């Protein structure tokens, strides 16, 4: 998939930070992003990263925009419900 498509998806949720290795967005203390090789436009993987506390860090990868979007929507719905 192309980085432009991932950026388009992420931008639906807020301001996207773009750098040499992809794009990220912060939502509810979680980082959602797309990683590329330095300067490339093809996405290697989509990811979600967050820390529960000082010792518990979580990192999940996704390979399709559909699954990635579903996960973001689910996380936002959980946050809204409380």
Name the band, by pLDDT with cuts 50, 70 and 90, for residue 31.
very high
Eight-class DSSP state of 2: B
Mean pLDDT, to the nearest integer, of 73-82?
A: 86
pTM: 0.89
Output the six-digit token pair for 34: 């797309």
Sign of CA dihedral 70, 30, 44, 14: positive
Name the band, by pLDDT with cuts 50, 70 and 90, for residue 82.
low
């Amino acid at each position: 998939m192309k980085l432009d498509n991932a950026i388009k998806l992420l931008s639906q949720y807020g301001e996207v930070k773009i750098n040499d290795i992809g794009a990220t967005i912060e939502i509810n203390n979680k980082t959602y992003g797309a990683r590329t090789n330095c300067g490339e436009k093809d996405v290697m993987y989509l990811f979600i990263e967050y820390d529960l506390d000082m010792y518990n860090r979580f990192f999940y990868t996704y390979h399709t925009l559909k699954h990635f979007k579903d996960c973001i929507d689910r996380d936002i719905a959980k946050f809204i419900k409380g």
